Amino acid sequence: MSDIAVRVDHVSKKFRLYHERNQSLKSTIMRGRRSVHEDFWALKDVGFEVPTGSTFGLIGSNGSGKSTLLKCLAKIYYPEKGTISYNGRIAALLEVGSGFHPELSGRENVFLNGSILGMSKKEITRKFDEIVDFSGVEEFIDQPVKNYSSGMYVRLGFAVAINVDPDVLVVDEVLSVGDADFQEKCRQKFIDFKEAGKTVILVSHAMNSVQEMCDHAAWLSHGDLVMMGEAEPTINAYLSSLHGGAQH
């Protein structure tokens, strides 16, 4: 499996949708009947392989299931059916400031978040200056992160995640946050990653970024895998479907 970084094997994920406004356990028991709900399958029998050393894009319209799949890849959600297997260490950057404690300083959060992502204190100490330099928040590193802007949050979070030195990095829309200088630093990091034989999986609505950065892509629609392969033809097929009147 060394040439495959991640294998998604017949993955299905469902969520329970309730049709009544008051869905507390107490109210359900008091009424003596089961709540009214239906199962919504966000992912339906999705399967593909991500080659080691590739930058892999997940694309699709809102509601396609790509964010759900990303959270399954990051082990935040677990599929009802199927499996996801990895070759090496994985790190995820999905939400602005995920893993940060608002009352702690940026410095304290670097150590907290780094340890959550599996780094030792010694490793974080060694990389601390590089993390802070990359984030561009040196001036505010000893301020509580509750005072940070969302851009500062995500820059610091990304700087920690990228320095975990994972074999696979899972990223959600990180290039939509931050100024042009930071976005360029991110792109360069992805290039360095690729040259080091590492793998990046990213979700983005910016097709020009996916086209520029990714060599493979998977297109999802309403929970189904429509197409997977080289990035350019996959993106072109997706864009053609939008121009053909499919829903955004």
pLDDT of residue 248: 41
| Residue in this structure with the two tokens 């033809």, named with its chain if needed | 233
Instruction: Say how far apart CA 232 and CA 240 lie, in whole Å.
Output: 12
Cα–Cα nearest to 172, from 205, 219, 137, 149: 205
Q: What is the pLDDT of residues 47-106, one digit of tens each?
A: 999 999 999 999 999 889 998 999 999 888 999 999 999 998 888 877 655 678 999 999
DSSP 141: T
pLDDT of residue 246: 46
What pLDDT band is residue 22 in, cutting at 50, 70 and 90? Answer: low
Average pLDDT over residues 149-178: 81
What pLDDT band is residue 206 in, cutting at 50, 70 and 90? Answer: confident
- For residue 200, list its beta bridge partners: 55, 169
pLDDT of residue 1: 47
All domains in the chain, ordered by first residue:
4-243 (3.40.50.300)
Instruction: Say if residue 36's pLDDT is above 80.
Output: no
Q: Rounded to an integer, what is the distance from CA 107 to the centroid of its chain?
A: 24
pTM for the model stands at 0.79
Higher per-residue pLDDT: 196 or 187: 196
HSE-CB for 112 with a 13 A CA cutoff: 16
pLDDT of residue 247: 44
- Annotate 189-222 with DSSP letters as a single string: HHHHHHHTT-EEEEE-S-HHHHHHH-SEEEEEET
Q: Position 57: which residue type?
A: G
Q: Which two tokens stand for residue 201?
A: 């999986």
Higher per-residue pLDDT: 164 or 36: 164
- For residue 107, list its beta bridge partners: none
Instruction: Say how far apart CA 141 and CA 152 lie, in whole Å.
Output: 10
Average pLDDT, the chain: 86
Instruction: Say how far apart CA 218 and CA 60 lie, in whole Å.
Output: 8
Cα–Cα nearest to 156, from 177, 172, 134, 185: 134
Instruction: Say how far apart CA 135 and CA 155 lie, in whole Å.
Output: 5
Instruction: Say if residue 220's pLDDT is above 70.
Output: yes
Q: Which two tokens stand for residue 79?
A: 């599929």
Instruction: Say how far apart CA 235 and CA 208 lie, in whole Å.
Output: 10
| Residue in this structure with the two tokens 């894009």, named with its chain if needed | 57
- Annotate 78-92 with DSSP letters as a single string: --SEEEEEESS-EEE
pLDDT of residue 180: 79
